[in-house]
Amino acid sequence: MDEVDRILAAWQREAPGLDVAPLSVFSRVTRLARHLDLARKDAFASQGLEIWEFDVLAALRRSGQPYELSPGALIHETLSTSGTMTNRIDRLAARGMVERLPDPRDRRGVRVRLTKAGRAAVEGALADLVDYEHELLAGLSPEQIDAVAGLLRLLLVPFEGK
């Protein structure tokens, strides 16, 4: 039994006519997300990064050379708002993790580029994170990992409209 089983048993006792079956999935997803957020926070702290900083830097790093995106693309990649992204870029630029460059295709536009320091930090944090997540999945077979990933994809796709 896990904590969700105890929660479900309590709801079945207190609200016997209510079908709480969705809680068996989504409460576990929510609880797992909280645990993973805490673990990610620890992994990123070893590189001096906050979770949001990793998200922005990782979006730039995985974009490929020259590791730059427009602020609009970063908003899309990180599920944030325009005002939030402006603040995040400002803070990362102040730390020397990113730099703003003029967009060569649009004089009014800006490109955000990962610096060497930003690249080193995000790559270190990613290595720590992947090591930890491999440990978490060590009890599952490759087939089980694929099955879990596939089922979670089915739940996620409607939210992301793809």
- Asked if residue 2 has pLDDT above 80, the reply is yes
Find the domain containing 120 and state its range: 48-160
Q: Could you tell me if 94 and 60 lie in one domain?
A: yes
Inter-residue contact 47 to 100 (CB < 8 Å)? no
Number of domains the chain is built from: 2
Query: How far is Cα 143 from Cα 94, in angstroms, rounded to an integer?
Result: 44
pLDDT tens track for 26-77:
999 999 999 999 888 888 998 899 999 999 999 999 999 999 999 999 999 9
Concatenate the DSSP letters of all residues of 98-139 into one string: EEEEEETTEEEEEEEEE-HHHHHHHHHHHHHHHHHHHHHHTT
Residues 39 and 61 in one domain: no
Q: What's the pLDDT at 161?
A: 73
pLDDT on residue 159? 87
Are 53 and 29 in a shared domain?
Answer: no
Same structural domain, 117 and 156: yes
Helix (H, G, I), strand (E, B) or coil at 88: helix
User: Are 122 and 64 members of one domain?
Assistant: yes
41 and 52, same domain (yes or no):
no
40 and 62 in a single domain? The answer is no
Residue for token pair 């609200």: 15
59 and 22 both lie in a single domain: no
Q: What is the CATH number of the domain that holds 90?
A: 1.10.10.10
53 and 35 part of one domain: no
Are residues 96 and 81 both part of a single domain?
A: yes
Which tokens belong to 117?
């320091």
